[in-house]
Structure 1
Amino acid sequence: MQKENKVSNIEYINLSNEWAKLDKVEYDYTFESGEQKRISRECYNRGNGAAILLFNRRKKSVILTRQFRMPIHVNNTNEAISIEVCAGAIDNNDTPLETIIRETEEEVGYKIKDAKHVLMAYTSPGALTEKMYLFVAEYSDAQKVNNGGGLDAENEEIEVLELPFTKAIEIIKSEKIIDAKTILLLQYAQINKLLD
């Protein structure tokens, strides 16, 4: 296992501060061999986020979303629509749990009171600072309080999908679900037999 390497003389050069912050980070890095190099990387900081897999044991179903994602479109115009778990950015001083309870109501229209934190993962540690807190929670039809769809103020247009769990697993295999946090949570549910 690699030992901790020394990082020193860190310098941040802001490149953009729009929806999120993009910095060029230059630093001195000491390798295990003792050699030291000046390295430059770009780091995109959009804050941290929370995501949730809502599941129903009785119906053996899950709630997912479908929405347009510009970065996917830029990478491959044939894959611009993404099927995902409900998720959102952690705002202000909210906790990950408070965030996901709010996002669940805004995006998919279900009012939940609690959720179980199951995983934490960096989404793309080579370029993004984002840490995702991943949750699961059981839902029932009685918890549906609106149609979801996201917030107009955030320019969201979210389609809510209620799918059989087995269908969700199948569409991972067919690469129609290509979002990492969604794959992680669906596989967590599969491994831990949440819908058995």
Structure 2
Amino acid sequence: MTAGVDTPDRRGRTGLDRHGRDLTGNPRVRIRDVEVLSCDWYVLRKTTFDYQHSDGHWSRQQRETYDRGDGATILLYNTERRTVLLSRQFRLPAYVNGHPDGMLLETAAGLLDGDSPEEAIRREAAEETGHTVGAVRHLFQVYMSPGSVTERLHFFAAPYDTAVTGGAGGIAAEGEDITTVEVPFAEALDMIRNGAVADAKTIMLLQWAALDGPFRPTDTPDRT
């Protein structure tokens, strides 16, 4: 008996090996087997499939996929002050892969955990920054690392004022220790150039704000 397959894992899940077996959207892909390698919290699977190449021949391939669920992120901005609100927190994967201290500046973000993307990002913004978000704008959704990670991330933007309406810092019970940082927008763009901002979702949102969003040149139409 295997946890997550025949018996419940620590999150009460079974049948995790059935994920993806019934896909029919691409006739050049035939799923042959799905094996659960780990389901301690998120799910690591190894999928065996046949793939038809452009010249017509078929090959059998295997890929590992890491399923942590989908997520959402938001850029909080203030056009009067020309600032953005970011968070700083420790990221172990970045630390072990060359980041000097693992303390990354990021836009507020989190997993959906069963909520809609808009519900989730309102929750995460409140938990991380202490700000209750008003009207939010859904910008786009992106597969952040499609070669190995299944996560699809929903991108939002919303204005903020200087009033903090609740606690910030993240969820202590989950080990979060988050600091909120207000950064002038021009400085935030410079931080991309000098490497002080090295998080992909944050870079994408800051560049959206500069090109199409609230800090775009005044003679440039809003294209989103």
Shift in Å at residue 32 of structure 1? 1.2
Kindly tell me the number of residue pairs found equivalent between the two proteins: 191
When residues 64 and 55 of structure 1 are mapped into structure 2, their CA distance, relative to the original with a 3 A threshold, is same
Structure 1 match to 2:187: 167
> What do the CA deviations read for 1:69-115 (whole angstroms, capped 9, x no partner)?
011112115251111000000012x1000000010000011001331
Change (3 A) 1:168 1:77: closer
Distance 1:193 1:28, change over 3 A: closer
- Structure 2: gaps spanning 5 or more residues: 1-25, 217-224
Aligned equivalents of 2:80, 2:136: Cα separation in 1: 18
1:66 equivalent in structure 2: 88
Give the equivalent residue in structure 2 for 1:101.
Answer: 122
1:149-196 deviations in Å (ceiling 9; x for gaps): 100121101110001000100000001111111000000000025136
More divergent stretch after superposition (18-27 vs 74-83): 74-83
Opposite residue 113 of structure 2, the aligned amino acid is D
Normalising by structure 1, we get a TM-score of 0.93
Partner of 1:139: 160
Structure 1 vs Structure 2 CA RMSD: 1.3
Task: Name the CA distance, whole Å, in 2 between partners of 1:82 and 1:10.
Answer: 40
Q: Which has the larger Rg? A: 2
Could you list the runs of 5+ residues in structure 1 that have no partner in the other structure?
A: none
Q: Which of residues 210, 213, 216 is equivalent to 1:190?
A: 210
Which amino acid in structure 2 is aligned with residue 160 of structure 1? Answer: T
Q: Among the aligned pairs, what percent are the same residue?
A: 39
Q: TM-score, normalised by structure 2?
A: 0.82
* 1:56–1:195 contact (8 Å) kept in structure 2: no
> In structure 1, what is the equivalent of residue 12 of structure 2?
none
Moved over 3 A (4+): none
Distance 1:12 1:159 in 2: 40
**Are 2:128 and 2:170, in contact at CA under 8 Å, matched by a contact in 1?**
yes
Structure 2 counterpart of 1:47: 69
Report if the CA contact (8 A) 1:5-1:29 is conserved.
no
* Correspondence for 1:13: 35
Greater fraction helix: 1
Give the whole-Å Cα distance in 2 for the aligned partners of 1:68 and 1:19.
20
Higher strand share: 1
